Amino acid sequence: MNVAVIGAGSWGTALAQVAAANGHDVRLWARRPEVAEAVNSAHRNPDYLKDADLSPRIWATPSVEEALVGADAVISVTPSKYVRATAEQLAPVAPASMPIVVCSKGVEVGTGLVPTQVFEELLGNPQRIAALSGPNHAEEIVHGVAAGTVVASESAETAEFFQKLLASETFRVYTSDDVIGVELCAAFKNVIAIAVGVAYGLGYGDNTAAMLMTRGQAEMSRLVAAAGGNPMTCMGLAGTGDLIATCMSRHSRNRMFGEALAAGETLEAYETRRHMVVEGAQACRTLDALSKKYQVELPITDVVRSMVWEGAAPREVADSLAARSLKPEFY
């Protein structure tokens, strides 16, 4: 098939490689013309995953319209804060029946919508839209290191379409009908990874990290259930799987940002230095809106937001969490 991949960051580049390795012809949209030129001439992305030799089946373009010419499917892979702008660009050129899988992770500021909901609002036909999420560090996926992911859609046919398009011996793709559950897990795990990074940065150990991950998953499951999702989704690849990878991996920008935050670095300085968006920094703000909407308590999310956006001191925040009243583990 002909596949359009919208976004030439690390994850978009890795998914383009996955699709090309499966025999599909890929048109990769890159915002900057010089990136597209480098991909086409040297078969390398000069900004992300620089050590990966990209398939000659991948052809890059700075034009969204050109990327969609003759496409049978769209894989949208842009940072969550650009999801609406991406959907607006696709709306005039993507046919109403074209399958689209959204790989952004987060919740939109102001509306509280997850990425697939933004796409549904602007492009219609939710039956052709899916979400993809899982423990998928691009640095490993692009080199064919074994991994698994989940594709969720209201339509079993759409989920199975993308399962067949992307699945391989090294990239196992599972299906789900719990779109909201998968999307909220994707947003949550980045927030908890920042908390884990802060803990390590302050000198805490693996026991502390495990506690934060487990209690973070409890927050995750409470909100997923309140929003109409299946709490069991939080035990799957989009929940536990991605939580483990994002909190513990050396590739995790969210965990690394947490460590930098504990050392006094600001979000702006970190993103400038790393040339990457810290999705958890946005998610800790937007999840607050859902917390209020569904009246669900999210204490770890709250303290991460206070550190990132309100200047709270990490050591004082850690002390405030430790001082919380004790309660039953499951409630």
Residues annotated as catalytic are 189
Chain position carrying tokens 């940002």? 257
CA dihedral 55, 57, 61, 64 (to 10 degrees): -120
Q: Round to whole Å and give the CA distance between 50 and 67.
A: 22
Our separate counts of H helices and E strands in the chain read 15, 8
Pairing of strands 147-153, 129-133: antiparallel
Q: Round to whole Å and give the CA distance between 13 and 35.
A: 11
Pairing of strands 100-102, 73-76: parallel
Q: Round to whole Å and give the CA distance between 209 and 170.
A: 29
**DSSP E strand stretches across 79-133:** 100-102, 129-133
Pairing of strands 25-29, 2-6: parallel
